[in-house]
Amino acid sequence: MNQRTDTLLKVLPNDDILSQCIHCGMCLATCPTYEMTKLERSSPRGRIKMIKSVARREMPVSEIFADEMNFCLDCQACETACPAGVKYGIMVEAARVVVEETDQYHMSRWGKLIKKIVMKYLLSSNLNLKIVARLLYFYQKSGLQKFLHLVGFFKFISNKLGEIDSLSPSVSKNFSDSFIKEVTFPNGEQKYKTAFLTGCLMNVMFADINKDTIDFLSSIGSIVYTPKGQFCCGSLQAHNGYIETAKELAKKNINVFEKYDYDFLVSNSAGCGAFMKEYGYLFEDDPEYAERAKIFSNKVKDVTEFLTEVKPRIKFKESLEAITYHDACHLVHSQKVFNQPREVLKSIPGLTFNELEESTWCCGSAGIYNVVRYEDSLVILKRKMEKIKATKAKIVLTGNPGCIAQLKYGAKKFNVDVEVMHPVSFIKELMVEDLWKR
């Protein structure tokens, strides 16, 4: 191995962490990729063994190694199942950093260039993201997208490209940071002090959910601080091998948010919330940011987690809907938030809650997994949609933008008659209006 590769291998966790896995196999039954292949190397313990071998310089960064690190969904279901408390997510994300910087196998030069542009210069820049989002909005709303599909344009290039194009969520007409005020005052008496991250994709593609979140928080008596100078949380970058870019974004957010006096940073995106809770770990050896990052992370709460902690008085309209709930991986496995959304939803009078079998299994979105490994994600998505169909629910709720987009695509592709919503939008829709029009 050359000196550069040797330096990069220091990114991997130390041997004490890598040796925590006792190879008991409890993780096998929860791993979607192992379920697909039945190959040991495609299981969490198999990948840990490979990472350990690379870290000890016993194995090179090979094509198989690179493929397995990217075949993994990083859903972290194995962490929930692990009796030894192994932090698998940390390992595979560190391995991806090594793969990204040293591997010549898993992606073409053009593919690597596009990924680099997206991670370092698009998602990491509010301005660049908004420019591209505006162009995409024109493409979607002008009729051009529909026309290209109608005439079979994508078939001349690749059927896969056409499907990936259909996966893209609709860009919001107005981005949420353009209408959400820096300070939103509560309707009535102030009871809570919260902050809010508008996010990157949430800001430009799910602005309605951001608005619903702000409206909901103010309706229950919270002042909401939404800093104008905030940035992408860095989760997509960290999960895809760009950890230094992620750390720079994290530092910027810590700098911005610590200027405000709040008790909770409420998140409506499972991926963002999970990564922001990891800021403390990310900077534990940084003398300047260690304590600041820990304080920041300790205030982060998913919106359903926040609700079950503060228990606000909410009066709901009666609902006769039959609903189910899909657990976003980075909410249930990374943040261990499972009971909270169910507790909130089951408090709504008249509601029929049909539990989803394998609710904690990944839907196949996994950040950009459904784009870069479309065929693999489709296998996982088909299984998920079959389980959703079996519930006979008319609405499926989930707390992550990637899951929302993936399930909407799955409902259409596999002909499942179900509406996909974010819990906060569903809750706001059923609140008695006079509570938030005071």
Q: Alpha-carbon distance 195 to 208, whole Å?
A: 18
> Tens digits of per-residue pLDDT, 223-279?
999 999 999 999 999 888 888 999 999 999 999 999 999 999 999 999 999 999 999
**Would you place residue 4 in the very low, low, confident or very high pLDDT band (cuts 50, 70, 90)?**
very low
CATH class for domain 3-102?
Answer: mainly alpha
CA distances from 233 to 124, 219, 253, 346 (A): 9, 26, 7, 31
Q: Alpha-carbon distance 108 to 45, whole Å?
A: 28
> Tens digits of per-residue pLDDT, 5-29?
455 555 676 666 677 888 899 999 9
In this structure, the chain runs to a length of: 438
- Residue 351: how many other CB atoms lie within 10 Å: 18
Picking from 31, 38, 7, the residue whose alpha carbon sits closest to that of residue 88 is 31
369 three-state secondary structure: helix
Domain with CATH 3.40.50.10700 in the chain: 314-435
Q: Alpha-carbon distance 15 to 306, whole Å?
A: 37
Strands 300-302 and 322-325: unpaired
Rounded to 5 degrees, φ, ψ at 84 are: -95, 0
- Residue 425: how many other CB atoms lie within 10 Å: 20
The fourth-level CATH superfamily of domain 314-435 is AF0625-like (3.40.50.10700)
Q: Alpha-carbon distance 134 to 129, whole Å?
A: 9
Domain with CATH 1.10.1060.10 in the chain: 3-102
pTM for this entry: 0.91
CA distances from 57 to 8, 61, 97 (A): 12, 9, 16
Are 161 and 153 contacting, i.e. CB atoms less than 8 angstroms apart? no
Tokens of 234: 């860095």
